[in-house]
Copies of this chain bind each other. A is one copy, B any other.
Amino acid sequence: MSGIKETSTNYANKQALADECAEVYAANIIGGQWSLVICSWLLNGKLRFGELRQLLPNITERMLTLQLRKLEASHIVKRTVYAEVPPRVEYELTAIGYELKPIIKRLEEWGEKHKLMATRTLTDNE
């Protein structure tokens, strides 16, 4: 869609890895600073652009747009535009997007556990 250089080593490496490893392929799709949070919120149901922006206080409109477009291009998110003025656009997870739920949940559990461990380690050392 824009800005990625198909002649770079980086591009070639990413392609090769994604071809070989489905987990890397998956990680590329949901990788990006805000993708996971966006998906997390959308697990609860449809949201409008402005609602997402409010839920993610520090995101810029540009970033939100970019991430949503990427998720849309990956068929994780479905975008519905209502022909109204002012415009209304709703975002919701697709079926395959919704199937990220257990992964996100497990990541969350693992993160919590790791965080606890890290805290404990720090405390031990001081």
Chain A contact residues, CB within 8 Å of chain B: 9-10, 12-14, 16-17, 21-27, 29-31, 33-34, 36-37, 40, 58-59, 74-75, 96, 99-100, 102-104, 106-115, 117-118, 121
Contacts and interface: CB of A to CB of B under 8 A. Distances in A.
How many protomers of this protein does the assembly include? 2
Given A21-B36, A21-B40, A118-B75, A103 B96 contact: no
A112 B26 CA distance: 8
B104 A23 contact: yes
Contact of A108 (B26, B29, B117): B26
Given A21-B37, A121-B75, A103 B100 contact: no
Given A31-B31, A75-B117, A106-B106, 14 more contacts: A9-B58, A13-B33, A13-B58, A21-B36, A21-B108, A21-B111, A22-B107, A22-B115, A23-B108, A25-B114, A26-B108, A26-B114, A99-B110, A103-B107
